[in-house]
């Protein structure tokens, strides 16, 4: 009834009398309570036979908050579905990759999301296609491919069944400027600290691969092995994403990664409620209530950077990674200033003489060992494994410790409970005397320890906690590598 935007996407409101479902922020007159049914997701409402509201546009709602009472298996499944895991394969294959049976996966989805995996995938494709119809000038055939439909005919049939009209009959939103190319406007739940997030990414941008200029983030991508560029900016209450890539069928996977990179689906309400009881964190949250955990475009890329950054400053880590890219990456011609290369593949680094970029032999050996493990499929960072398994796999590589493993799962896999173990800056920032004391205190921050770490690191950078004149030991760096 309050139309509070903090709850946008956390649930949906179905109206029995009209058979329409809405976002909590819908401006329409509230329905009679006896006619209302509540749903955990847009997919659950669609599976119940309801149509999306044309006024509040459920396709524009932020994603369902992950890790908010949802099993980790479902969270991983939702992430893979958003990147097109069910476009070419079935539920059985997805369940196998997640390490469970397909029947059990269906039960988990119905319990936690309100709809089976195939219904979630279908709703995601359909609502994404409607957004492209509303907001771009792309032809219907391109939109059908971008949304993951196997054919234009199938897209037309599904769209007509849901909205009672064909895609070509869909009216455009009044007053909305239409984009000629691949462009998306992404919503989030306020508050959102864009300045802090983009500053974090800017200080850790890999020269040649990513760059930040005037608050705009740009980077090289290669979905399907085909090079391209994304450009991300903040406009009003939206994130604007421009994608320069010749294959539109990869668009939704790219957008899903952007959402994770900028942590757009974070449930700030739940995070704040859980952390503000801590005296230090409560003060920091008041100063930066919209702080997010910056993600990473690619787990392999982030892990290599974290290894190179051991025992050096954040700037030093960027310099070393830039040298690696310049020597072993593939050149690119792009319209974005500073974007000149694709990050090297695991197969290329496994055979490379890493010492040529000026790192100690032991660290060079760690880079090669990690790249070899990825190239030979002994270590898999595709996201299907649980966070604990990913941390164990990473730490099986000589030279990768608990701090690096926690940092990678925190950023590359969006684990909100990941924690960079042994970070001495976090110990001092939290006012703890020892690492053990910090770990014990951090148990009270579960399942949001990653956000607690970000607030403590940000408090250090803002000068609200302690001076950073002293250089922390080994991997314990403010804000990570």
Active-site residue among 87, 263, 423, 443?
423
Task: Supply the Cα-derived Rg of the chain in whole angstroms.
Answer: 23
Residue 467: what pLDDT? 37
Q: Where are the beta strands (DSSP E) in 25-76?
A: 36-39, 51-52
* 3-class SS of residue 213: strand
Residue 176, pLDDT > 60, answer no
CA separation, residue 339 to residues 212, 226, 295, 357 (Å): 10, 15, 19, 20
Residue 229: what pLDDT? 94
Residue 179, pLDDT > 60, answer no
Residue 441, pLDDT > 60, answer yes
**On the CB side of 100, how many CA atoms lie within 13 Å of its CA?**
19
Confidence of residue 177 (pLDDT cuts 50, 70, 90): low
In whole angstroms, what is the distance from residue 14 CA to residue 34 CA? 11
In whole angstroms, what is the distance from residue 444 CA to residue 19 CA? 43
Over residues 239-296, the pLDDT tens digits come to 999 999 888 888 888 998 999 999 999 988 889 999 999 999 999 999 999 999 999 9
Q: Which residues contact 218 (CB under 8 A, 6 or more apart)?
A: 210, 211, 212, 229, 230, 231, 232, 336, 338, 339
H or E stretch including 410? helix 402-411
Over residues 335-359, the pLDDT tens digits come to 888 999 999 999 999 999 999 999 9
Q: Which of 117-131, 168-182, 355-369, 397-411 has the lowest mean pLDDT?
A: 168-182
5-60 topology per CATH = DNA Methylphosphotriester Repair Domain (3.40.10)
Burial 312-344 (b: 16+ CB within 10 A, else e): bebeebbbbbbbbbeebbeebebebeebbbbbb
* 3-class SS of residue 278: coil
In the block, which residue shows the tokens 């956000």?
A: 451
Q: Where are the beta strands (DSSP E) in 167-259?
A: 182-186, 210-213, 216-221, 228-235, 238-244
Residue 319, pLDDT > 50, answer yes
To the nearest whole percent, how much of the chain has pLDDT over 90? Answer: 63
Is 462 a known active-site residue? no
Q: Which of 174-183, 348-357, 406-415 has the lowest mean pLDDT?
A: 174-183
What pTM was estimated for this model as a whole?
A: 0.87
Residue 67: what pLDDT? 42
The region that residue 431 occupies, defined by phi over 0 for left and psi between -120 and 50 for alpha, beta otherwise, is left
The angle, 0 to 180 degrees and rounded to 10, between the axes of the packed helices 314-328 and 194-203 is 60
Q: Are the C-beta atoms of 248 and 326 separated by less than 8 Å?
A: no
Residue 237: what pLDDT? 86
In whole angstroms, what is the distance from residue 454 CA to residue 426 CA? 9
Over residues 448-460, the pLDDT tens digits come to 999 999 999 999 9
Count CB neighbours of 96 within 10 A: 15
Beta bridge partners of 230: 219, 243
In whole angstroms, what is the distance from residue 16 CA to residue 49 CA? 10
**On the CB side of 276, how many CA atoms lie within 13 Å of its CA?**
11
Omega cis (within 30) before 447:
yes
Confidence of residue 475 (pLDDT cuts 50, 70, 90): very low
> Options 1.10.20, 1.10.3470, 2.30.30, 1.10.1670; which CATH number does 266-293+416-481 get?
1.10.1670
The angle, 0 to 180 degrees and rounded to 10, between the axes of the packed helices 268-275 and 449-461 is 80
For the chain, domain boundaries? 5-60, 182-264, 266-293+416-481
Instruction: Name the nearest CA neighbour of 275 among 293, 252, 261.
Output: 293
Is 423 a known active-site residue? yes
Q: Kindly report the average pLDDT of the chain as a whole number.
A: 88
Domain 5-60 and domain 182-264 have a common topology: no
Active-site residue among 8, 22, 278, 415?
22
Confidence of residue 473 (pLDDT cuts 50, 70, 90): very low
Residues 84, 90, 92, 93: is their CA dihedral positive or negative? negative
Query: Regarding beta strands 51-52 and 20-22, do their DSSP bridges make them parallel or antiparallel, or are they unpaired?
Result: parallel
In whole angstroms, what is the distance from residue 97 CA to residue 149 CA? 22
* 3-class SS of residue 276: coil
H or E stretch including 429? helix 424-429
Q: Which of 61-65, 400-404, 447-451 has the lowest mean pLDDT?
A: 61-65
Residue 71: what pLDDT? 64
Architecture of the domain delimited by 182-264: 2-Layer Sandwich (3.30)
Q: Name the token pair of 420.
A: 């960079």
């Amino acid at each position: 009834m309050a139309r509070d935007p903090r709850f946008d996407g956390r649930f949906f409101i179905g109206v029995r009398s009209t058979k329409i479902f809405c976002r909590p922020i819908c401006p329409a007159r509230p329905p009679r309570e006896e006619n209302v049914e509540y749903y955990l997701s847009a997919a659950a409402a669609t599976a119940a036979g309801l149509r999306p509201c044309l006024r509040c546009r459920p396709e524009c709602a932020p994603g369902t908050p992950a890790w908010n009472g949802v099993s980790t298996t479902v969270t991983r499944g939702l992430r893979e579905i958003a990147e097109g895991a069910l476009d070419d394969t079935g539920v059985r294959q997805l369940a196998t990759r997640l390490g469970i049976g397909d029947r059990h996966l269906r039960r988990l989805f119905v319990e936690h999301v309100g709809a089976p995996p195939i219904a979630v995938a279908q709703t995601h494709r359909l609502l994404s296609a409607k957004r492209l119809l509303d907001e771009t000038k792309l032809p219907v055939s391109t939109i059908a491919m971008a949304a993951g439909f196997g054919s234009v005919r199938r897209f037309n049939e599904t769209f007509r069944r849901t909205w009672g009209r064909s895609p070509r009959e869909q009216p455009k939103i009044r007053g909305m400027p239409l984009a000629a190319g691949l462009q998306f406007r992404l919503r989030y739940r306020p508050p959102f600290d864009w300045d802090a997030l983009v500053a974090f990414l800017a200080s850790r941008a890999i020269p040649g691969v990513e760059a930040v200029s005037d608050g705009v983030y740009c980077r090289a991508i290669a979905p399907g092995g085909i090079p391209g560029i994304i450009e991300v900016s903040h406009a009003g209450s939206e994130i604007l994403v421009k994608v320069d890539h010749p294959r539109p069928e990869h668009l939704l996977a790219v957008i899903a990664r952007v959402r994770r990179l900028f942590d757009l689906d974070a449930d700030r309400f739940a995070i704040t409620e859980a952390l503000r009881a801590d005296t230090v964190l409560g003060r920091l949250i008041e100063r930066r209530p919209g702080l997010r955990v910056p993600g990473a475009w690619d787990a392999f890329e982030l892990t290599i950077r974290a290894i190179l950054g051991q025992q050096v400053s954040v700037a030093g880590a960027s310099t070393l990674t830039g040298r690696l890219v310049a020597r072993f990456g593939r050149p690119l011609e792009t319209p974005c200033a500073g974007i000149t290369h694709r990050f090297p593949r695991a197969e290329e680094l496994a055979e490379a003489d890493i010492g040529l970029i000026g790192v100690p032999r032991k660290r060079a050996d760690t880079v090669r060992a990690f790249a070899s493990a990825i190239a030979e499929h002994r270590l898999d960072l595709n996201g299907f494994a649980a966070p604990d398994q990913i941390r164990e796999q990473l730490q099986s590589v000589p030279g990768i410790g608990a701090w690096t493993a926690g940092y990678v799962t925190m950023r590359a896999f969006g684990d909100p409970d990941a924690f960079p173990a042994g970070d001495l800056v976090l110990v001092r920032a939290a006012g703890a005397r020892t690492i053990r004391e910090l770990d014990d205190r951090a148990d009270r921050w579960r399942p949001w320890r990653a956000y607690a770490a970000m607030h403590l690191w940000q408090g250090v950078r803002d000068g609200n906690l302690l001076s950073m004149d002293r250089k922390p030991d080994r991997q314990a760096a403010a804000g990570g590598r």
